[in-house]
Amino acid sequence: MNETVIEVSNITMRYRLATERVDSLKHFFVKKIKREIRYENFFALRDVSFSVNKGEVFGIIGNNGAGKSTLLKIIAGVLKPTTGAITRKGSIAPLIELGAGFNGELTGIENIKLNGLLLGYSKKFINEKLDEIVEFSDLGKFIHTPLKNYSSGMKAKLGFSIATVVQPEILIVDEVLAVGDINFKEKSEKKIRSMMEGGTTVLFVSHSLGQVESLCDRVLWMEHGQVMRIGASEKVIKEYQEASKSK
């Protein structure tokens, strides 16, 4: 019997957006006091439900603005939904916005230590794994220079190397493999595959449908914050491609 490790139940994410442009904070408060600001509801997610089994590789596809990243952030605990509930079993490593906690003034080495602590690793563990993280990142001498001199690809390499130094029970991957050079893409995909083989449950978002089909068991297709289809990767991706062509 399959064990469910992620249960998403009727998740809705609603934002209130001002319907007109306000040029300054002063202008905003004047209009707010006069009750002249009007809002409209924007639904990033609407009544989304699904479950993921232990050890499964579950893909999420959809066009930009479909709600994929919002959904992953809610599952990771970064955002709180307007309504609905999430049940998670096990430790989570979210590869979302890699390097979000980095400090541009600090070197790569210093950021490994800082980011490791933010991820909940002990100082002892970070020091023991430091050489392994540095070696995997492929940053060479740049590891000793401040991060403000790094490209976005270099930051992603470092973030990926830190986040995957442990074997989490749940791994959340959001477009991570789209950055960096071809060698690092291959290496990071291999690392994710080894985690899967070790029993890690993976939630995977990528615009590369070939990558999704090769890695994932099942796929969730989203449009405008709603679930369109959930099923076997090949079948759902084919339907998604056909629907995209007809638009």
Predicted confidence (pLDDT) at residue 36 exceeds the cutoff of 80? no
Q: Does some domain include residue 56? A: no
Q: Quick check: 89 pLDDT over 80?
A: yes
Q: Residue 62: inside a domain, yes or no? A: no
Identify the pLDDT of residue 174.
81
Does residue 23 belong to any structural domain of this protein? no
Angle at Cα 206 formed by Cα 204 and Cα 207, nearest 5°? Answer: 160
67-71, 132-136, 165-169: which range is least confident on average?
165-169
Residue 99 confidence (pLDDT) above 70? no
Choice between 136 and 188, residue whose per-residue pLDDT is larger:
136
Over 70: is that where the pLDDT of 115 sits?
yes
Q: Which residue has the higher pLDDT, 36 or 156?
A: 156
Model confidence at 176, pLDDT cuts 50, 70, 90, reads: low
> Within a domain: residue 191?
no
pLDDT at position 204 over 70: yes
Residue 151 lies in a domain: yes
For residue 105, being part of any structural domain is answered with: yes
User: What pLDDT was estimated at residue 227?
Assistant: 96
pLDDT digits (tens, 9 = 90+) for 50-88: 999 998 999 999 998 899 989 999 998 888 999 999 999
pLDDT of amino acid 38:
67
CA separation, residue 193 to residues 23, 55, 136, 186, 190 (Å): 48, 12, 15, 10, 5
- pLDDT over 70 (residue 97): no
Q: How confident is the model at residue 148 (pLDDT cuts 50, 70, 90)?
A: very high
Range of the domain at 107: 99-167
Domain membership flag for residue 117: yes
What are the backbone dihedrals phi and psi of residue 228, each rounded to the nearest 5 degrees, phi first? Answer: -95, -45
- For the segment 199-228, the average pLDDT, to the nearest whole number, is 91
Mean pLDDT on 17-43: 67
Residue 19: its pLDDT value, please? 60
Tokens coding 132? 């392994």
pLDDT at residue 20 tops 80: no
pLDDT above 80 for 247: no
Residue 1: predicted pLDDT? 62
Domain count, the chain: 1
Q: Which residues does residue 59 pair with via DSSP β-bridges, in sequence order? A: 204, 219
The answer to whether residue 88 is domain-embedded is no
Range with the poorest average pLDDT among 34-43, 85-94, 230-239: 34-43
CA distance 88 to 96: 17
- Arithmetic mean of pLDDT over the chain: 86
| pLDDT over threshold 90, residue 41 | no
